[in-house]
Amino acid sequence: MRRPSIAELFGTGLLKTTVVLTPMFAASYGIASGAVQQLPQILSGHAQIVAEGQAAVEQVAEASDAPLSEGRRKQITANSRDETVAKVTIWQEIGGLVRRFLLAALTVRIVRRRTRLRIFQLPDLIFVPLLFWWISTSLGNAESLVNIKTGIFIAALLTVAQFSFWGNYIPRVFPLHLHGTGESFAANISGRIIGTAAAWLTLTFWAATPPHPTRPGQDRVGRRGGSGALLSRRRGIVVHHDRTGIGDAG
């Protein structure tokens, strides 16, 4: 077996494969880091969560003999917010779990890998930006939290399923002696460095002020998540339509 070299990934025979895979893998990480993982901060200004935080402070204040300090009030509010947000984001984790079974079922029924990828990637391109845009306009509606749970479940399912696809697929497009080298480059350089930079882009393009339903203009956090998702996925989908044929293997 030949000695692996990262320079071979950019050689004549593998250059196109590397150039196509790099932004696509980065886009998968980008939509997770730039949108889905921003949900806890976005929800901190949701009307129901804010109301429950205020109710928790009032409940403790009524049971206390001495007036609550400002620091104590903030701590109670934060604890209440974290508890409620966790009940929403758990659906994100459930969506990521369900994708394992769904992807396994599709693998048995659909042979073409490109088709399996697009089943998750194309809906993700449309659904996630629209979801976070809708969330940004629904923060003042206390009844919207149930729909947000459903939305983030679907978003996580569509996004995380692509990670399983890449993990199984990327080694197959490189020669045997470059299986580990190619996968490591895609996962670490493309995904964990370039892709996760979407979180930085999201926070840079829009101020990181938590949204508040009674303060106009502070729903930008939700919109920044949608925009971050759109930028990340557009970066990958454009290259995907290069049709180099890498998705036809198997």
Please report the pLDDT score of residue 223 as a whole number: 52
Instruction: Provide the pLDDT confidence category of residue 28 given band limits of 50, 70 and 90.
Output: confident
Instruction: Provide the pLDDT confidence category of residue 174 given band limits of 50, 70 and 90.
Output: confident
Cα separation, 177 vs 208, in Å, equals 45
Please report the pLDDT score of residue 166 as a whole number: 79
Cα separation, 8 vs 168, in Å, equals 21
pLDDT score of 243 more than 80: no
Instruction: Provide the pLDDT confidence category of residue 163 given band limits of 50, 70 and 90.
Output: confident
pLDDT score of 200 more than 90: no
Asked if 113 and 50 touch (Cβ cutoff 8 Å), the reply is no
Q: How many Cα atoms occupy the beta-carbon half-sphere of 234 within 13 Å? A: 7
- When computed from its CA atoms, the radius of gyration of the chain, rounded to whole angstroms, is 21
Helix, strand, coil shares of the chain as percentages rounded to 5? 80, 0, 20
Q: What is the sign, positive or negative, of the torsion defined by CA atoms of 183, 184, 185, 189?
A: positive
Residue recorded with tokens 């629209």: 130
In the chain, the amino acid numbered 41 is Q
SS3 label, residue 81: helix
Please report the pLDDT score of residue 225 as a whole number: 53
pLDDT score of 147 more than 90: yes
Asked if 25 and 185 touch (Cβ cutoff 8 Å), the reply is no
Averaged over 153-174, what is the pLDDT?
Answer: 83
Residue recorded with tokens 């966790």: 86
Cα separation, 142 vs 213, in Å, equals 10
Model pLDDT for residues 58-95, shown as the tens digit of each residue: 888 888 878 888 888 889 989 999 999 999 999 999 99
- Report DSSP state, residue 31: H
pLDDT score of 164 more than 80: no
Best CA proximity match to 38, nearest among 78, 88, 96: 88
Domains and CATH numbers, the chain: 22-247 (1.20.1250)
Instruction: Provide the pLDDT confidence category of residue 207 given band limits of 50, 70 and 90.
Output: low
Cα separation, 75 vs 45, in Å, equals 16
Please report the pLDDT score of residue 209 as a whole number: 54
Cα separation, 72 vs 142, in Å, equals 25
Which stretch of DSSP H or E encloses residue 63?
helix 47-63
Best CA proximity match to 9, nearest among 184, 140, 131, 157: 184
Instruction: Provide the pLDDT confidence category of residue 241 given band limits of 50, 70 and 90.
Output: very low
Please report the pLDDT score of residue 123 as a whole number: 86
Model pLDDT for residues 93-140, shown as the tens digit of each residue: 999 889 888 888 887 888 787 788 888 888 888 898 899 889 988 888
Give the pTM.
Answer: 0.73
Instruction: Provide the pLDDT confidence category of residue 36 given band limits of 50, 70 and 90.
Output: confident
